[in-house]
């Protein structure tokens, strides 16, 4: 019986925590909005995420961003190589310092 009371106490503490943080009010209002929808969405979880402000990008957007990232990484590597080559070419025309090194 003591174990039951301890877990009930933890549940009550957790419920108060959720209430104090505004989680219960937010969930209640979103669930009411879902209930009041004339045409229920195909994916209730997406509805909840959208109304709670947890919007995930569309798969097409993610793929577009992945392709753009790959393209930009390739351009970055090419620019690094070009920069290295230009520095080498420039060093041929710079006068050597007195200690024998170049900048």
String of DSSP letters for 50-101: HHTT-PPPPHHHHHHHHHHHHHHHHHHHHHHHHHHHHHHHHHHHSPPPTTS-
**Tokens coding 73:** 């990484």
Half-sphere exposure of 57 (CA within 13 A, CB side): 8
Number of domains in the chain: 2
Per the CB < 8 A criterion, the answer to whether 12 and 25 are in contact is: no
| Residue 10 near residue 3 (C-beta atoms within 8 A) | no
d(CA 76, CA 74): 5
Q: Tell me: the pLDDT tens digits for 21-73?
A: 999 999 999 999 999 999 999 999 989 888 888 766 777 888 899 999 999 99
Hey, how many other C-beta atoms are within 10 angstroms of the C-beta on 47? 17
Residues 14 and 33 placed together within one structural domain of the fold: yes
- Which structural domain range is residue 4 located in? 1-56
pLDDT (mean) for 81-93: 94
Residues 44, 87, single domain; the answer is no
Please tell me whether residues 4 and 16 are part of one structural domain.
yes
pTM for the structure as a whole: 0.46
* Whether residue 8 is found in the same domain as residue 44: yes
């Amino acid at each position: 019986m003591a174990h039951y009371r301890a877990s009930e106490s933890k549940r009550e503490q957790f419920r108060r925590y959720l209430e104090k943080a505004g989680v219960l009010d937010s969930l209640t209002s979103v669930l009411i909005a879902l209930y009041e929808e004339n045409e229920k969405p195909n994916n209730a979880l997406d509805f909840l995420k959208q109304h709670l402000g947890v919007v995930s990008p569309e798969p097409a957007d993610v793929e577009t961003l992945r392709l753009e990232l790959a393209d930009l990484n390739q351009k970055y590597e090419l620019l690094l190589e070009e920069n290295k080559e230009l520095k080498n070419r420039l060093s041929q025309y710079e006068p050597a310092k007195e200690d024998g090194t170049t900048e």
